Homo-oligomer: A and B are copies of this chain.
Amino acid sequence: MKKVYRRPKSLKRAAFHYCPGCGHSIVHRLLTEVFDEMNIQDKVIGIPPPGCSVFAYHYLDIDMAESAHGRGAAVATGLKRAYPDALVFTYQGDGDLAAIGTAETIHAANRGERITSIFINNAVYGMTGGQMAPTTLSNMKTTTTPYGRDTRLEGYPVRMSEMVALVKGAVYIERTAVNSPANIKKTKKAIRKAFQAQIDDLGYSLVEILSPCPTNWKMNPLESWQWVENEMTKEFPLGLIKDATRTKDSTGKRDAD
């Protein structure tokens, strides 16, 4: 018999430190599958965040550098400006990208930095023990919303991707999930498109990925995968949010919308 599925080449042989059922490692795998398929493993530079994925460099066999919390887009900007031949991506949690990193993300996108952001939306601060994230659902309990997120005091789940879509330098934005075979495959496609937009020198690309966090949601893995489907996608509808890759030529002269 033929081996039809094997570990991607760009994925190091290390045991993931993530909790059982966590979405982070799926996204890691998809990234490395894309690197292998596009043959860009030796051009890619990744910027992982403080967050559960802080150790991403233990798994992805590419050049990587840690960034300060929320500053991925700024670090990637500096790196890409200094060395435009690289393919630079940030890997960021929802606390990282949508709270402390709001300004960096929006302005890097607006400048049309030729970088890609992989944005893991798990509706909580995973690493620090399950505090409210900007993306925490209304009434959802977290360690800092012990009585449920009260939208009157704590605000509403922030749809960061829709917001970023408003700036012209962002050329490709899609929201996917890693909670089913079909969604996982779509996520991979989206990641591929995002890197392609960067290779084509078009502008900023972002893939928001709804990702289960069974530990902080206090569910078993399967429940958490279902919760993504049943609850999260209601607030964060899956699908393409913006695609200006066709209307925009690579000189960037034409506007994206």
Q: CB within 8 Å of B: which residues of A?
A: 99-103, 106-107, 110-112, 134, 151-156, 158-159, 162-163, 166-169, 251-253, 255
Chain B residues with Cβ under 8 A from A102's Cβ? 102-103, 106-107
Question: A168 contacts which chain B residues (CB < 8 A)?
Answer: 151, 155-156
Most chain-B Cβ atoms within 10 A of its Cβ — which of A103, A107, A111, A252?
A: A103
Q: Is the CB of B153 within 8 A of A111?
A: yes
A132 to chain B, nearest CB (A): 11
**Does the CB pair A99–B107 fall under 8 Å?**
yes
Instruction: Count identical subunits in the complex.
Output: 2
Quick one: closest B residue to A138, CB to CB?
B255
Instruction: Point out the residue from B112, B151, B156 that lies within 8 Å of A152, measured CB to CB.
Output: B112
User: Which residues of the other chain, B, contact A153 by a CB distance below 8 angstroms?
Assistant: 111
Residues of B within 8 A of A158 (CB): 106-107, 110, 167
**CB closest chain-B residue, reference A106:** B102
Which residue on chain B has the smallest CB distance to residue A169? B155
In angstroms, Cα B200 to Cα A55, docked, is 48
15 contacts between A and B (CB under 8 A): A99-B103, A102-B102, A102-B103, A103-B103, A110-B158, A112-B151, A112-B156, A151-B168, A151-B169, A152-B251, A155-B167, A156-B167, A158-B167, A163-B166, A166-B166
Contacts A102-B103, A103-B100, A163-B106; is A111 near B154 (CB within 8 Å)?
A: yes
Residues of the B chain whose Cβ atoms lie less than 8 Å from the Cβ of A111:
153-155
A253 contacts B156, C-beta separation under 8 Å: no
Given contacts A102-B103, A103-B100, A252-B151, contact A110 B156 (CB under 8 A): yes
Complex Cα distance, B155 from A156, in Å, reads 29
Q: Determine the residue in chain B with the shortest Cβ distance to A70.
A: B103
